[in-house]
Amino acid sequence: MTSAFLEIIKALASLSSLTMNLSPSPSMYKIHKEKSCGEVQVLPLLSFWGSCHIWVHYGYLSGSIFPLFVTLIVGDAFAIGYLPVYYRYTTEPTEVRKRLACLLSVECAGHTLYVLGE
């Protein structure tokens, strides 16, 4: 009984997380439709991708394939899909590239620390 209850809670948590991963979709649709980013900023999208990516690695390394890894790899894919839509219609592509480079350097530093810690 307890194990089944725990699995139900895990499934509900995954469903909740997947719903949250879809929350930028209306904004991305609006950007695509209007061909302009308007007031939307790139930082939340980059933070979304960075957070999902770090949690994907944690889920894999800790052996928590379901729900952590599976749920967040889907979030990672959504974030990777949102970023090109934003980048295509932004008026500040240089700023987006700078922020993406900063995020990637932090991600690389984290990967390096993990590899060196092994």
What pLDDT digit, counting tens, does each position of 54-85 carry?
999 889 888 989 889 999 999 999 999 999 99
Task: With respect to residue 49, please indicate whether it lies within any of the assigned structural domains.
Answer: yes
Q: What is the pLDDT of residue 101?
A: 98
Task: With respect to residue 46, please indicate whether it lies within any of the assigned structural domains.
Answer: yes
Task: With respect to residue 18, please indicate whether it lies within any of the assigned structural domains.
Answer: yes
Task: With respect to residue 96, please indicate whether it lies within any of the assigned structural domains.
Answer: yes
Quote the number of domains for the chain: 1
- Residue numbers of the domain that contains 88: 2-24+36-117
CA distances from 86 to 52, 54, 105, 118 (A): 18, 22, 21, 37
Task: With respect to residue 30, please indicate whether it lies within any of the assigned structural domains.
Answer: no
* CA-based torsion, 47, 31, 25, 23: positive or negative: positive
Task: With respect to residue 29, please indicate whether it lies within any of the assigned structural domains.
Answer: no
Task: With respect to residue 95, please indicate whether it lies within any of the assigned structural domains.
Answer: yes
> Residue 25 in contact with residue 4, Cβ under 8 Å?
no
pTM: 0.88
Q: What is the pLDDT of residue 8?
A: 92
